[in-house]
Structure 1
Amino acid sequence: MAIKEGIRTGGRSARVQESIHAAIRDLLLEHDRATISVPMIALRAGVTPSTIYRRWGDLTSLLADAAVERLRPDAPINCGNLRDDLQSWTEQYLDDMNSAAGREMMRDVVGSAASCSSKCASIVRDQLQIIVDRALVRGEAAPPAEELVDAIVAPMIYRILYSEAAPTLERMFQLIDNCLDRYR
């Protein structure tokens, strides 16, 4: 079941969502992901399980939604040039996604409703678009954000999920350079 559209973003609805997301964050620090349940989250958040089921439908969709919210950056990266911005962003993203919590989050997103995956992709694309826009204002040549997703994010996620090991940071920097070389 997808997250219901048209839910107000402020007021009680936002407070309930935040309390549920906070409960999930806290529980994941205290328990193995496999032991967490909707009733456990509801109890910690101070809501009824029916509140969670009504909004998210199932545990996987709820965990995916909370994980996607975690992807939102605190502040945009700004190192002063495109290459450094992309390297900093990539290093942070690789650390996040390659962590145990990041891998579980990706599995939850993949196993959830399509709207959650789309939201996740949109957040990543928006983060990269900020970096690209900043570079263009500085007068630097920059690839489109979608090109960066294909050149940097897609291989990283594939390697994390399906390879024996995640890509090294050096390999990710090579992919950044290869992409930037095409736009210089």
Structure 2
Amino acid sequence: MSPRAAARPGGRSARVQQSVHQAVRDLEEELGRDALTVPLVAARAGVTPSTVYRRWGDLRELLSDVAVERLRPDGAPADHGSLRADLEAWAEQFAEEMSSPAGRAYIRDVLLGDPEQGNAAHCSDYAAEQLKAIGVRAAGRGEAVPDVETLLDVVVSPLMYRILFRPSDLSAAYTDRLVDAVLGRSHPPLPVKS
């Protein structure tokens, strides 16, 4: 794991990151993604291109880093009173946000980054943290809770596949079926769309 991935920056480094990330967001909105270049981003952020290259390496890695920050959850998952209700609500919201055009673009950007930098792992950690919070809350209510890795394998992994490759097949019924599968309730298969 690189030093950048191991710890979040503080002080000047945090200000540079914030400024560069904001420059990327502003320029994407103003000019479109295809117009972005490292020198253009650096000029807007008030840093030298060498600062951007030194920290991120290239534009793809910078876009990946910005996407990771955009995919960070805003807060703890909502409490709906039971593990099933919490997981169903979380999975439906996750599917809705990530399958939006912006969500899918952010996911693609994260995946384009250097796997050694850990951006994809950060996104996985975000989902794991959310699921862990749901599990801790449910365990506190006395509910049996699958481990986080099982939740990632049975709920998040199929969602990510659908989001990336078959987004038109996503629905609340589909996310509820994934939750049912991880919590041990079986159902007949959903009809296949032709």
Deviations 1:40-62 (A, max 9, x none): 22222222221111111111111
The TM-score, its normalising length taken from structure 2, stands at 0.83
State the number of aligned residues: 181
The TM-score, its normalising length taken from structure 1, stands at 0.87
Deviations 1:19-75 (A, max 9, x none): 112222233333432222222222222222211111111111111111111222221
**Equivalences for 1:1-184 in 2 at 5 Å?**
4=4, 9-77=9-77, 78-114=79-115, 115-163=118-166, 165-181=168-184
- Could you tell me how far apart the structure 1 residues matched to 2:179 and 2:40 are? 42
Decide whether aligned partners of structure 1 residues 147 and 7 sit closer, same or farther in structure 2, where only a CA change above 3 A counts.
closer
Structure 1 vs Structure 2 CA RMSD: 2.1
SS of 1:16's partner is helix
- Could you tell me how far apart the structure 1 residues matched to 2:139 and 2:7 are? 36
- Could you tell me how far apart the structure 2 residues matched to 1:82 and 1:6 are? 32
5+ residue gaps in structure 1?
A: none
Decide whether aligned partners of structure 1 residues 41 and 80 sit closer, same or farther in structure 2, where only a CA change above 3 A counts.
farther
Moved over 6 A (4+): none
> Could you tell me how far 1:136 is from its partner in structure 2?
0.8
SS of 1:139's partner is coil
Q: Which residue of 1 aligns with 2:192?
A: none
SS of 1:165's partner is helix
Q: Tell which structure's C-alpha radius of gyration is larger.
A: 2
Decide whether aligned partners of structure 1 residues 82 and 25 sit closer, same or farther in structure 2, where only a CA change above 3 A counts.
farther
Q: Which residue of 1 aligns with 2:189?
A: none
> Could you tell me how far 1:142 is from its partner in structure 2?
1.1
Q: Which is worse superposed, 47-56 or 87-96? A: 87-96
SS of 1:174's partner is helix
Q: Which is worse superposed, 163-172 or 114-123? A: 163-172
- Could you tell me how far apart the structure 2 residues matched to 1:91 and 1:169 are? 6
> Could you tell me how far 1:8 is from its partner in structure 2?
6.4
- Could you tell me how far apart the structure 2 residues matched to 1:25 and 1:86 are? 31
2:142 partner letter:
G
- Could you tell me how far apart the structure 2 residues matched to 1:105 and 1:3 are? 23
Contact in 1 for aligned 2:71/2:106 (Cα 8 Å): no
> Could you tell me how far 1:135 is from its partner in structure 2?
0.9
Q: State percent identity of aligned pairs.
A: 48
Contact in 1 for aligned 2:72/2:123 (Cα 8 Å): no
